[in-house]
Structure 1
Amino acid sequence: MRLRVASTILLGLVCAISSTGVAARASDGDCDFTGWQSYCDVSNSGDQVDIGAGLTDPGSTSTDPSPDPGSGQISPDPPTSLPVVPTVPEDCPLNRCDLPYDVVTPPDVTLADLVSFRPARPSLEGEPAGFGVVGMPANIVAAASEQRIAGTLLGWDVTVRFVPAAFVFEYGDGGSIRSATGGTSWQRLGQAQFTPTATSHVYLARGTYPVAVTVQYSASVDFGSGNWRPVAGYVTSTTGGYDVRVVEVRTALVDETCAENPSGPGC
């Protein structure tokens, strides 16, 4: 029973010294709480208790000497200075105000600047090939496709894109139309010959008529960012040289064909 009482008294003494000794020593300036790491060494005047206490935080400095290898304490790593990260304003271009640079934007482009970039000419044909019949539709067909041309523009590397926007047909007799399509053949349309199409034309007199088509291309430019910037207006490309010979057709009841009688009516 006497041993248990002595032990209880000693334990109480240790707790009292642990709780009050640190505060007392801290008030005397023996404890360093100014950095990331603080260390206190509390001693009793008697020979009952010696207490060492430490508080360790990462990256702190300490003036405490290295602990005894046998004490079981782990010495903290030496402090490492952290880099100062600048605060970047929200309105900073590209969010890199910490770097000195000049922001250069591509120039505005007009049709006049694209004079050296020319799309290919459209194709032009008709049916029946090369001729037509007075008073009956002749089918005129043109074709053009999207084109991309790389080069240098105003000192910048650029890609120019041309997209067909409209087809303007000139039929050679004063007639013309503007169509969103270049037209297609009677066969692909599933139509009979000499029937109207979106790009057909009816000639009212015999003769040979020069036909032409002009494609209006919408232009846009890309300076390497993947962003296509439209250019106001149209770039045009024209194809001509297709002549339509228009003839009259008369129906007559004859006894012989033209092969049998080349001088017969209608031959």
Structure 2
Amino acid sequence: MSSLSARLVAVGILLVSVSLYPAPSWAANSPSPGTGFTDRSISVGAEFTINPTTGMPSTNLTTASEDPNQYMADTHCRADGPDTKDPGCDALDCPATTPAGEEGTPVIWKEAPKAITNPGWTDWIPVSGPTCLYDPLPENVLANIAARILNDFRQLPVNPGNLEAQPFPHTLKGGPTNFYATAADQTFDLTILGQAVHLTATPTSYTYTYGDGTTLGPTPAAGYTIPETEWLNNQTRTSHTYTDTGNYQAAVTTSFTGTYSVNNGPPLPINGTLDITTPTKTIHVWKTEKALVADTCQENPNSWGCPGTETR
């Protein structure tokens, strides 16, 4: 008894995108009230919140105005500073990192409410540290790094991941094709202006280009893989339905935001994003036709619907 079979063929395409968030602003701090010394602290207008459990700062990539605190790297642990009894001053040595280099400067990260326009010495509360800064003018080094960190960030070999599609490489006209991106967090250890900088790149948003003139994004949705049984009837947030047959070039642009820490200091947001687009993938979109046939392609390679044969 002969078997009956119906055959489908499909083709599709895919694209992705990326975007990033703002970073910190830096300003010189005014003299500490009551010390009688020129202040060597570094004020950081960054987007921080303090974890109440660990006491460590973390970045809040929304808007700087939402953070009620201002921050500084207190350099008063120096031997010639006005407050060598500051907690932590004796807890860290900063030996030279090169044979002819200078010793570093121990600093402690502190915070004070932004509501205080000119915080007094008792208004600054230790947050983390001590850590070391290596520069003849440690009060300038963080501002100098902040001025160049976005450019350094954009030179890093960040992997954009891949754009994936289901089904692939063939998909069906009028049916959903599921697209998703595979970008991941990446870390880098750099030396900038003699300081050890740890940088983290985080995929934050995606822009999908489907190749038929339509796009999706920027969106925080990276998409996800779905079981094969759901390919033709599951519409995901990043799915796309092609309305015409053809071959389409799809891609995704991923927007990475970044944070960096200097010599084990708190994470600071980078003011800008790194956008990377994946190589395109060709999606072959086909329409479906159904017919009753008397045998399979293995039994008769020239049967209707088999590869290389003409459709009627």
TM-score (norm: length of structure 2)? 0.50
Q: Tell me by how many angstroms 1:145 deviates.
A: 1.0
Aligned to 2:169: 130
Aligned to 2:195: 156
Off by >2 Å, runs of 4+ in structure 1: 88-98, 100-105, 109-116, 152-157, 190-195, 254-261, 263-267
Question: Structure 2 counterpart of 1:139, which letter?
Answer: N
| 8 Å Cα contact 1:139-1:194 kept in structure 2 | no
Q: Tell me by how many angstroms 1:250 deviates.
A: 2.2
Q: SS at the partner of 2:303?
A: coil
Distance of 1:256 and 1:96 partners within structure 2: 89
Greater Rg by CA: 1
Q: Bigger relative contact order, structure 1 or 2, given CA contacts below 8 A and separation 6+?
A: 2
CA change 1:263–1:143 in 2 (3 A) is closer
Q: Tell me by how many angstroms 1:171 deviates.
A: 0.7
Aligned with residue 303 of structure 2, among 251, 262, 265: 262
Distance of 2:189 and 2:161 partners within structure 1: 20
Aligned to 1:193: 232
1:152-207 residue CA offsets vs partner (Å, 9 max, x unmatched): 2344331221011011111111111122122112229x845342111111111111
| 8 Å Cα contact 1:168-1:213 kept in structure 2 | yes
Q: Which runs of 5+ in 1 are unaligned?
A: 1-87
CA RMSD across the alignment: 3.0
Aligned with residue 180 of structure 1, among 204, 220, 235: 220
Question: Structure 2 counterpart of 1:186, which letter?
Answer: I
% of aligned pairs identical?
A: 22
Aligned to 1:38: none
CA change 1:217–1:115 in 2 (3 A) is closer
Aligned to 1:168: 207
Q: Which runs of 5+ in 2 are unaligned?
A: 1-33, 40-73, 82-104, 106-136
Q: SS at the partner of 2:285?
A: strand
More helix by share: 1
Distance of 1:214 and 1:97 partners within structure 2: 47
Q: For residues 230-249 of structure 1, what are the structure 2 equivalents within 5 Å?
A: 230-249=269-288
Distance of 1:98 and 1:140 partners within structure 2: 59
1:210-243 residue CA offsets vs partner (Å, 9 max, x unmatched): 1111110011111113311111221122212311
Distance of 2:155 and 2:78 partners within structure 1: 39
Question: Structure 2 counterpart of 1:187, which letter?
Answer: P
